Structures are given as structure tokens and as C-alpha cells.
């Protein structure tokens, strides 16, 4: 390892030690409220309207901390001040000050995920609003990306409240992230704070007058992004949008203005000075406050149409690449099920822009906007922070009360895993697969098939270690030194990571079926339940120098009878060793 990499790792371990100190020693500040939007990349939608509510006199005794990346702070501070929000402390995302706030705040709000290393303290109150009703398949429903749901699922699991503004989102999110029997969060059926603005017709009139465009037809174009985060093709997306905008600009009238807002993950590289009737979305207005002024919304596969529908105004789906897009991105239902007109070219788009709303959306509103209302932000803040019983509909995520079994498998195609899943009565207990997400990335389709039988919990990152942890591991594994102090440090290390990965669920049984990662074996060895490990020849080779690893396990399963003698040298408890076929037979009893 070169010096730069070593220095980087030491810095990370030092930071982890500080965070561990914060978790155990920072007291909870009952007056501190922490909010984060899109991992510190924005002040968007729900979080903005919650901030606006928290700026009222009723919350004058509270401190409000907003996570925001450094380069955005000047611009976003101006935005907050424009709307009279002045009681907010801007905290640099990822800084030590940020972690001080996140580990000491009584109330936590996020519309995405809190950091992968963060574990909520029992006395904290965490509400996850997410950032929209999903159209595109998420979590396990996404056959190509299901392995990557780990930190999202973990956030939903450790949250106290999950905000769902409609029954469809509630059912879809719980199923897609496998939250039944996993999360103890309360379902909060309340409107999205950001959608409250669509019930305020006066705000739209005021804004139009303020901008001097009250006699214009205002159209907003908000397309989503294409591809995946690791392969966005930003230039290609900008090129396609630019081509369509040029054609639109020629056909729009003098009484029409089209405002464009590309998705936040796509950098807008369009020169709007080239157009006569097209302008960029203004940065000095909050997105939904400005969108409320629009007479018509043009979008494609973005969830923004679920929100804008509350306004009762026209929505047009400009899906010029529908066939290509849907090949790579699955949706929960067909676009044909939506009441909005679909168009594929600019002439038809102009025709729809110039046509009044001529479709019925009553059923759509009942299904997707059921709980939206003008007081959503007020209701949420009053309930959570001021402890007012204001009639918010709350319910538990379903739990069947059955025993929970966790199965670790580094290889999803392993034959012993197949045998276990085929033979076990999956209806008697709740079975969860777990694995390092990086190990199954190339087996996403296999994971998708398995998810039809059993739920899963990916290990979304590496084990979080401090300098003391690393030293203890080196002494223990490399130099075979096992003092009480070293054992205590390792126990703390592994238990801390178990709490990180599985913050809301207790397992009655752990089954380590396939793999020889000694970190994983040690991790599950510390879990306070019945533990079984499957023994194969590669694992025997790995454990010859680490006999103590097996002593924590209650039972060893032999994949082959000939492994008995070498196994006894590592695990001299013959009465606790069982052959695979006998073990599997017991699973079906």
C-alpha cells in the first residue's frame, strides 16, 4: 500500500473513532432539529416546506440545522432569506460539525438517506419523507439494481416514521424495500409538505405579477434523467433536450414562455440565450413555488406529475424515447394507465400545449394524491415536535411475529444455498438473505429471482473501523495475540457494525452458508442468537490459523462427510457437527 492510500485510511479510521465517540457520548439536544435534502445537494421540496413551517414563532425555542454542501451555501442562504427563513444554521455536509448535529439532534428529517455509517440513537426521532411517489421500479423490484438498495432499506428500517401521501406509495415502498417484519417504523399517511403550495392559487397569481408575466401562458418542462448514476451520459441527454427545445422555440407564440428544469443529477449545459421563448428555471425561487405558477407541466417519467396533479392543471407526457427507455428502466405500471396525454414529437407537443385540459383525473387523484392537503407541513411539525394530536393517520408496518432467520451467502449460485431454500418451509419463519452488495453485483438477475421467494438485506459498505479496531485486528489475525483487551476491542467493533447493518430487527438464528471472509465470520459470531456455519474445504484452509473463530458458533454443517476429520481439528465438538443432508431434512420439519 502506498503512502497516500495509507494516509487516507488512517484519516478515515480517525474520523470513525470520532463518530463512535459522538454516538456514545454526545447527549441528545431536545431543542435541535436536523434536516437534509438529497444528501446535502439541495434544499428541495418537502425539506424546504418543513423549514418554512419551522421558521414560525411556535418553534422559536428550537435550533434548526440544515445540511448543505459548501459550494451551495451562499446561493441557498439567499433563497431561504427570500422566503423569510432566517433561523437556520447551515452545516457543511460530511463535516465533523455535521456529525455533531446528526448525533445530538432530537429530530431528524431526510428526503433521501442519512450517511451509511450513521446509526440512530434510541431517543432520536427520525422521519424519512422520501422524495416522491415512484413510477420507476425501486429496490428489489428493479431486476438490475436490487443489490444496491442497502442504505435506503437501512434508513427506512431505522426511521421512526415513513411519510406516505398515498396508498400506492405506501404499498409499493414497503414491498420494494421488504420492510414487513423488518422495520418498526410507523406509517404516516399525510400529504407531502411540498404539495401544499398547489392548493394556494393566490401564491401563483402573486408570483406571476411579481415577475411581470401575468398575461403569459407559463409552461414548465421537467424531464427526468436517463441511465444509471454511474453512466449518466450527461452530454447525450443535454444534446437531445437541446434539439427538441430548438424545434419548440420556433413554434411557441409570443404569449407563451417555456421554463426548463433538468434533473439535479444532470448538469444543465444548454445556452438559453439562443431561444426567444424558452428560459432556464430561475434559481432564486423554490422549485414548487415556481411550478405552482405554471399553467401546464411537461414531463416524461418523472414523479413530479404525481405532485403537480394536485393543482388540477394540465400535464403532458413528452415520451419521445419511451420504447428505448422502458427497455432499461422498469415501471410499476404502464404509462397507458395514466390519464395524461402522451406525445412523441414536437408538433404533437405544441398541439397539446395549445389545447385545454380535456381528460378526467378523479381516479388518479384518489389513488395518488389521497392525503395531500394545504396543511401538511403544519400537521407534521406540530405532531412530531409540539406533540399535538392533530388527527394524522398512523399505522404499523405489518409484522407476523414469526422467528427471523438470517442467511449469509457470498455466492448466490452456491448449491448448498439452493438446497436450503428449496427444502426449508419458508412460510414457518421469516428468512432474510444477506451478502456484501459488491459480491452480487454481477448476479443481479439471480438476486431478483431469489427475491420472489425470500427477502434480503445487503451489506451496503465495508465494516466501519477505528484505529483501535485496526490495531486489534492486526494483533489478533496476523500475530495471533488474543489478550482480553484485544478481545474486548474486537467485540465492540463487530457489535457496532451489526447495529449499523441491522438496526431494527432481531434474528433468532444466523446461518453462514457460503463464504470464507473472516471479517464476516467474526461479525456474525458476535450475534446473540443460535449460529450455524457451513463447512467447506476452502473455509477449512482459511480457518487453520484462526481456530477461535469457530468457537462462537453453535453448530457446524459439513458439506461433505470427508470434511469431518479436518473440521474436528478446528471445532472439537463432534456432537454439534451435522451433515448437510441431515441438517436440511430438519429444516423441513
Is 445's pLDDT higher than 90? yes
pLDDT in tens, 7-24: 899 999 999 999 999 999
Q: What integer pLDDT is reported at residue 266 of this predicted model?
A: 52
Residues 6+ apart with CB under 8 A from 425: 587, 588
| Beta strands in 445-553, from DSSP E residues, in sequence order | 455-459, 509-514, 530-535
How far apart CA 436 and CA 457 sit, in angstroms, is 9
Nearest Cα to 177, choosing from 136, 213, 149?
149
| Set of cell numbers at residue 532 | 450455524
Determine the average pLDDT of the residues in 96-122.
Answer: 98
**Percentage of the chain exceeding pLDDT 90:** 88
Torsion of Cα atoms, 264 then 269 then 274 then 277, to 10°: -10
Model confidence at 367, in pLDDT bands (50, 70, 90)?
very high
Class of domain 197-369: alpha beta
pLDDT in tens, 449-469: 999 999 999 999 999 999 999
Burial annotation 548-570 (CB, 10 A radius, 16+ → b, else e): ebbeebebbbbbeeebeeebeeb
Nearest Cα to 245, choosing from 267, 271, 266, 227?
271
Point out the least confidently predicted range of 120-134, 137-151, 173-187, 322-336: 322-336
Q: What integer pLDDT is reported at residue 6 of this predicted model?
A: 84
Model confidence at 425, in pLDDT bands (50, 70, 90)?
very high
Q: What integer pLDDT is reported at residue 264 of this predicted model?
A: 62
Is 589's pLDDT higher than 80? no
Point out the least confidently predicted range of 236-245, 312-321, 482-491: 236-245
How far apart CA 452 and CA 307 sit, in angstroms, is 31
Q: Are the C-beta atoms of 23 and 103 separated by less than 8 Å?
A: yes
Average pLDDT along the chain: 94
Torsion sign (Cα): 206, 211, 217, 223 = negative
- Residue 502: phi and psi, rounded to 5, are -130, 70
How far apart CA 184 and CA 399 sit, in angstroms, is 9
Point out the least confidently predicted range of 153-157, 219-223, 479-483: 479-483
pLDDT in tens, 390-412: 999 999 999 999 999 999 999 99
DSSP code for 11: H
| Beta strands in 372-479, from DSSP E residues, in sequence order | 393-396, 404-409, 430-436, 455-459
How far apart CA 172 and CA 154 sit, in angstroms, is 17
Model confidence at 493, in pLDDT bands (50, 70, 90)?
very high
According to DSSP, the residues that pair with 456 across neighbouring strands are 433
Q: One fold for both 3-191+378-396 and 404-587?
A: yes
Determine the average pLDDT of the residues in 555-561.
Answer: 96
pLDDT in tens, 24-54: 999 999 999 999 999 999 998 999 999 999 9
Is 308's pLDDT higher than 90? yes
Q: Are the C-beta atoms of 455 and 431 separated by less than 8 Å?
A: yes
DSSP 3-state assignment of 439?
helix
Determine the average pLDDT of the residues in 423-445.
Answer: 95
How far apart CA 345 and CA 343 sit, in angstroms, is 6
Q: First CA to last CA across the chain, in angstroms?
A: 51
Query: Measured in whole angstroms, how far is the alpha carbon of residue 343 from the centre of its chain?
Result: 32
| Beta strands in 471-519, from DSSP E residues, in sequence order | 509-514
Q: What integer pLDDT is reported at residue 234 of this predicted model?
A: 56
Residues 6+ apart with CB under 8 A from 329: 136, 137, 301
**Percentage of the chain exceeding pLDDT 70:** 96
Is 560's pLDDT higher than 70? yes
Q: What integer pLDDT is reported at residue 231 of this predicted model?
A: 41
Q: Are the C-beta atoms of 378 and 53 separated by less than 8 Å?
A: yes
Torsion sign (Cα): 100, 106, 112, 116 = positive
Determine the average pLDDT of the residues in 567-581.
Answer: 95
Determine the average pLDDT of the residues in 320-331.
Answer: 88
Q: Decide which of 3.40.50.11820, 3.30.70.270, 3.40.1000.10, 3.40.50.150 is the CATH code for 3-191+378-396.
A: 3.40.50.11820
Class of domain 404-587: alpha beta
Q: What integer pLDDT is reported at residue 3 of this predicted model?
A: 79
Q: What integer pLDDT is reported at residue 508 of this predicted model?
A: 98
Nearest Cα to 90, choosing from 59, 112, 68?
68
Model confidence at 267, in pLDDT bands (50, 70, 90)?
low
Model confidence at 230, in pLDDT bands (50, 70, 90)?
very low
Q: What integer pLDDT is reported at residue 229 of this predicted model?
A: 39
| CA separation, residue 271 to residues 239, 241, 283, 345 (Å) | 11, 11, 15, 22
Element (H, E) at 367: helix 362-368
The domain spans of the chain are: 3-191+378-396, 197-369, 404-587
Q: What integer pLDDT is reported at residue 233 of this predicted model?
A: 56
Q: Are the C-beta atoms of 437 and 146 separated by less than 8 Å?
A: no
| Beta strands in 291-413, from DSSP E residues, in sequence order | 296-299, 314-318, 342-343, 393-396, 404-409
Angle at 187 between CA 182 and CA 193, to 5 degrees: 135
Is 265's pLDDT higher than 50? yes
Q: Supply the DSSP string of 207-276, one letter for each residue.
A: HHHHHT-TTSEEEEE-----SBTTB--HHHHHHHHHHHHHHHHHH--TTEEEEE---TTS-----GGG-S
Amino acid at each position: 500500500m502506498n503512502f497516500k492510500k495509507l494516509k487516507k485510511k488512517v484519516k478515515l479510521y480517525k474520523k470513525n473513532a470520532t463518530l463512535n465517540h459522538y454516538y456514545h457520548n454526545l447527549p441528545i439536544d431536545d431543542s435541535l432539529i436536523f434536516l437534509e435534502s438529497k444528501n446535502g445537494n439541495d434544499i428541495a421540496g418537502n425539506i424546504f416546506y418543513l423549514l418554512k413551517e419551522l421558521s414560525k414563532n411556535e418553534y422559536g425555542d428550537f435550533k434548526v440545522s440544515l445540511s448543505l454542501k459548501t459550494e451551495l451555501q451562499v446561493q441557498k442562504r439567499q433563497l431561504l432569506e427570500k422566503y423569510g427563513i432566517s433561523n437556520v444554521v447551515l452545516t457543511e455536509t460530511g463535516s465533523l460539525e455535521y456529525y455533531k448535529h446528526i448525533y445530538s439532534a432530537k429530530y431528524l428529517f431526510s428526503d433521501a438517506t442519512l450517511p451509511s455509517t450513521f446509526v440512530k440513537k434510541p431517543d432520536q426521532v427520525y422521519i424519512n419523507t422520501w422524495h416522491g411517489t415512484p413510477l420507476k421500479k425501486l429496490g428489489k423490484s428493479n431486476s438490475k439494481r436490487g443489490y444496491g438498495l442497502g442504505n435506503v432499506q437501512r434508513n427506512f428500517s431505522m426511521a421512526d416514521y415513513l411519510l406516505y401521501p398515498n396508498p400506492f406509495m405506501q404499498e409499493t415502498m414497503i414491498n420494494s424495500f421488504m420492510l414487513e417484519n423488518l422495520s418498526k417504523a410507523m406509517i404516516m399517511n399525510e400529504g407531502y409538505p411540498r404539495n401544499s403550495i398547489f392548493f394556494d392559487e393566490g401564491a401563483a397569481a402573486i408570483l406571476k405579477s411579481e415577475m411581470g408575466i401575468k398575461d403569459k401562458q407559463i409552461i414548465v418542462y421537467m424531464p427526468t434523467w436517463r441511465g444509471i448514476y454511474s453512466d449518466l451520459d450527461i452530454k447525450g441527454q443535454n444534446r437531445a433536450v437541446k434539439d427538441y427545445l430548438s424545434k419548440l422555440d420556433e413554434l411557441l407564440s409570443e404569449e407563451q414562455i417555456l421554463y426548463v428544469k433538468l434533473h439535479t443529477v444532470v448538469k444543465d449545459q444548454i445556452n438559453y440565450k439562443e431561444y426567444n421563448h424558452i428560459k432556464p428555471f430561475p434559481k432564486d425561487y423554490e422549485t414548487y413555488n415556481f411550478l405552482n405558477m405554471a399553467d401546464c407541466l411537461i414531463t416524461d417519467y418523472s414523479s413530479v406529475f404525481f405532485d403537480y396533479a394536485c393543482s388540477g392543471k394540465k400535464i403532458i407526457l413528452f415520451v419521445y424515447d419511451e420504447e428505448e427507455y422502458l427497455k432499461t428502466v422498469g415501471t410499476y405500471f404502464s404509462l397507458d394507465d395514466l390519464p395524461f396525454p402522451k406525445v412523441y414529437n414536437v408538433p404533437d407537443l405544441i398541439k397539446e400545449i395549445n389545447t385545454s385540459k380535456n381528460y378526467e383525473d378523479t381516479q388518479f387523484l384518489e389513488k395518488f394524491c389521497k392525503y395531500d392537503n394545504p396543511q401538511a407541513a403544519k400537521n407534521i411539525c406540530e405532531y412530531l415536535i409540539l406533540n399535538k394530536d392533530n388527527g394524522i393517520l398512523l399505522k404499523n408496518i405489518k409484522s407476523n411475529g414469526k422467528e427471523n432467520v438470517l442467511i449469509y451467502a457470498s455466492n448466490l449460485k452456491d448449491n448448498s444455498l439452493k438446497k436450503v431454500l428449496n427444502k426449508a418451509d419458508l412460510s414457518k419463519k421469516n428468512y432474510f438473505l444477506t451478502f456484501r452488495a459488491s459480491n452480487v453485483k454481477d448476479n443481479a438477475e439471480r438476486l431478483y429471482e431469489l427475491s420472489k421467494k425470500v427477502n434480503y438485506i445487503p451489506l451496503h459498505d465495508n465494516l466501519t473501523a477505528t484505529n483501535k479496531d485496526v490495531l486489534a485486528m492486526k494483533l489478533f489475525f496476523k500475530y495471533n495475540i488474543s489478550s482480553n483487551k484485544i478481545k474486548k476491542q474486537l467485540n465492540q467493533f463487530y457489535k457496532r457494525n451489526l447495529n449499523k447493518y441491522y438496526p431494527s430487527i432481531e434474528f433468532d438464528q444466523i446461518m453462514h452458508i457460503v463464504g470464507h471472509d473472516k471479517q464476516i465470520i467474526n461479525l456474525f459470531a458476535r450475534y446473540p442468537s443460535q449460529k450455524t456455519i457451513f463447512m467447506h474445504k476452502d473455509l477449512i484452509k482459511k480457518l487453520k490459523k484462526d481456530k477461535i473463530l469457530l468457537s462462537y458458533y453453535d453448530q457446524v454443517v459439513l458439506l461433505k462427510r470427508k470434511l469431518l476429520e479436518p473440521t474436528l481439528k478446528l471445532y472439537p465438538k463432534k456432537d454439534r457437527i451435522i451433515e448437510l443432508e441431515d441438517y436440511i431434512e430438519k429444516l423441513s420439519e
